[in-house]
């Protein structure tokens, strides 16, 4: 079910330009701070009247919130998915290495523990401050705190698989390391990895919004849910729609991803199902 909601949001994000939105950066000073549902009537040169309804109101610069929220979906989803993919890829690589090469294991795990000791958001903030702001920096800054968790997961899977009799048998039969990993270790690691990936995605979306909200994330020209909320802060008391709408979308998306993750976990691992 979570997948269904997510699919809808994904769809919205992809088709944003066609959903009757206006240019999200178009500043229209006359329409500043309109409440949701306000209608604006434009009179063209030939006397015709075109009216547009601001479904979600406008912000302090007259930009249409509806459009910004929809466009924001794209960025948030992009960040979430890319962080999930990259951190899984990197975590997989490191985890496999650490699980397999004993001498590397201790060293790598200490570093991972160290990274995990710094709260994710602080780490991300610090990392963003190191480089110029921008999409790539933000993605990188979010990936790095997420990697240790993936590494731990992969490593534990690798370690447990190594002891299995069929792996020993394969080695005895002369299998070499790389095909061994591909055929035996990887499929076992896949299921929990996918589940973890969804959680990483959800976490990434939240962290990105957080970063943007605090002003250290994606630059304000590009609308992201966090950005929109950051800009709406000052006028919150009077015009709450600035914050409420992106907030609702954000919450819904993250919720959807989490539910999807839970659902995936339940179906991929029948053992856990009984407990719940």
Partner 1 sequence: MLGYIARRILATIPVVSVVAVFVFLLLRLTGGDPAAVIAGDSATTQQVAEIRVKLGLERPIGEQFVIWIGRVVRGDFGESFFFKKQVAELIRDRLEPTAALAVCTLFLAVAVAVPLGVVAAAKRGTWIDRAVMGFAVLGFSVPVFVIGYLLIYLFAIQFAWLPVQGYQRLADGFWGFLQRLILPSVTLAVIYVALIARITRTSVLEVLETDHVRTARAKGLGEGAVLLRHVLRNAAVPIVTVIGLGVALLIGGVVVTESVYGIPGLGRLTVDAVLARDYPTVQAVILLFSLVYVLINLLVDLTYTFLDPRIRY
Residue 33's DSSP bridge partners are none
At its nearest, how many Å lie between partner 1 and the CB of residue 263?
11
Site residues (vs partner 1, CB under 8 A): 110-111, 113-123, 125-126, 128-130, 202, 206, 209-210, 213-216, 229, 236-237, 240, 243-244, 247-248, 250-251, 254-255, 257-259, 262, 275
At its nearest, how many Å lie between partner 1 and the CB of residue 179?
35
Q: Reduced to 3 states, what is the DSSP secondary structure of residue 18?
A: helix
Toward partner 1, which CB reaches closer, 185 or 264? 264
At its nearest, how many Å lie between partner 1 and the CB of residue 99?
20
Assign residue 239 a region (left: φ > 0; alpha: ψ between -120 and 50; beta: otherwise): beta
**Contact yes or no for 256/9 (Cβ under 8 A):** yes
Toward partner 1, which CB reaches closer, 14 or 122? 122
Toward partner 1, which CB reaches closer, 67 or 76? 76
At its nearest, how many Å lie between partner 1 and the CB of residue 104?
15
Toward partner 1, which CB reaches closer, 28 or 245? 245
**Contact yes or no for 128/211 (Cβ under 8 A):** yes
Toward partner 1, which CB reaches closer, 8 or 214? 214
DSSP-derived secondary structure letter, 256? H
Long-range residue pairs from 131-139, CB within 8 A, at least 24 positions apart, any chain: 133/216, 133/217, 133/218, 133/219, 134/218, 134/219, 135/75, 135/78, 135/79, 135/218, 135/222, 138/79, 138/208, 138/211, 138/217, 138/218, 139/79, 139/82, 139/83, 139/86
At its nearest, how many Å lie between partner 1 and the CB of residue 234?
12
């Amino acid at each position: 079910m979570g997948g269904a909601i997510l699919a809808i949001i994904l769809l919205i994000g992809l088709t944003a330009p066609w959903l009757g939105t206006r240019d999200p950066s178009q500043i229209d000073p006359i329409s500043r701070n309109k409440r949701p549902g306000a209608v604006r009537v434009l009179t063209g040169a030939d006397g015709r009247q075109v009216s547009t309804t601001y479904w979600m109101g406008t912000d302090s610069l007259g930009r249409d919130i509806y459009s910004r929220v929809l466009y924001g979906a794209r960025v948030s989803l992009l960040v979430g998915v890319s962080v999930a993919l990259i951190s899984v890829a990197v975590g997989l690589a490191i985890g496999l290495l650490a699980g397999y090469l004993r001498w590397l294991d201790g060293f790598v795990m200490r570093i991972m523990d160290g990274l995990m000791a710094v709260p994710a958001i602080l780490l991300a903030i610090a990392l963003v401050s190191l480089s110029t702001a921008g999409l790539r920096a933000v993605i990188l800054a979010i990936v790095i705190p997420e990697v240790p968790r993936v590494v731990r997961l992969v490593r534990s899977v690798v370690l447990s698989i190594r002891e299995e009799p069929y792996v020993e048998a394969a080695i005895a039969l002369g299998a070499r390391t790389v095909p061994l990993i591909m055929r035996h270790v990887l499929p076992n690691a896949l299921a929990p990895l996918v589940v973890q990936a969804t959680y990483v995605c959800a976490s990434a979306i939240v962290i990105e919004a957080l970063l943007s909200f605090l002003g250290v994330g994606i630059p304000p020209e590009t609308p992201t849910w966090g950005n929109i909320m950051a800009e709406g802060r000052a006028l919150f008391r009077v015009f709450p729609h600035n914050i409420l709408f992106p907030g609702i979308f954000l919450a819904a998306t993250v919720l959807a991803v989490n539910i999807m993750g839970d659902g995936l976990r339940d179906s991929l691992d029948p053992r856990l199902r009984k407990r719940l």
